[in-house]
């Protein structure tokens, strides 16, 4: 989920680039057509009722065609705790990066100030 969240955030920030990648595996006419199809879509993973129904349809197809052997409850499988954990870890990573950069800059300034003394 953490990887999917990173990809989703990147795709939301770079819709044309994401459309170029998605165009290779979609039914759209070309990259611009793919872009028009995805420009208003939030690419971040979520457990909306619509997405869960889509997963259920895909699971049922794979089960009926032998791609998966065992049936399962999509709602139990798509546990919210995994999405919440991924969001928490991404937030913590971002916080460490942002505060770490500021602390490094602060340390460099202190060192320069000491040299000037």
Task: Give the contacts of 35 (CB within 8 A, at least 6 positions apart).
Answer: 15, 16, 19
Assign residue 28 a region (left: φ > 0; alpha: ψ between -120 and 50; beta: otherwise). beta
Domains of the chain by residue range: 1-44, 46-72, 79-117
Residues 24-79 have pLDDT tens digits of: 998 999 999 999 999 999 999 888 999 899 999 999 999 999 999 999 999 888 88
The verdict on pTM exceeding 0.75 is: no
């Amino acid at each position: 989920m953490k990887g999917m969240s990173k990809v989703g955030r990147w795709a939301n920030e770079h819709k044309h680039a994401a459309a170029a990648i998605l165009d290779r595996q979609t039914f759209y006419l070309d990259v611009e057509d793919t872009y028009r199809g995805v420009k208003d879509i939030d690419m971040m993973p979520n457990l909306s009722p619509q997405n869960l129904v889509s997963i259920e349809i895909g699971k049922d197809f794979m089960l009926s065609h032998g791609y998966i052997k065992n049936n399962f409850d999509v709602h139990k499988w798509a546990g919210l705790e995994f999405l919440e954990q991924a969001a928490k870890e991404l937030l913590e990573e971002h916080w460490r990066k942002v505060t770490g950069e500021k602390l490094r800059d602060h340390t460099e300034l202190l060192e320069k100030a000491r040299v000037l003394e």
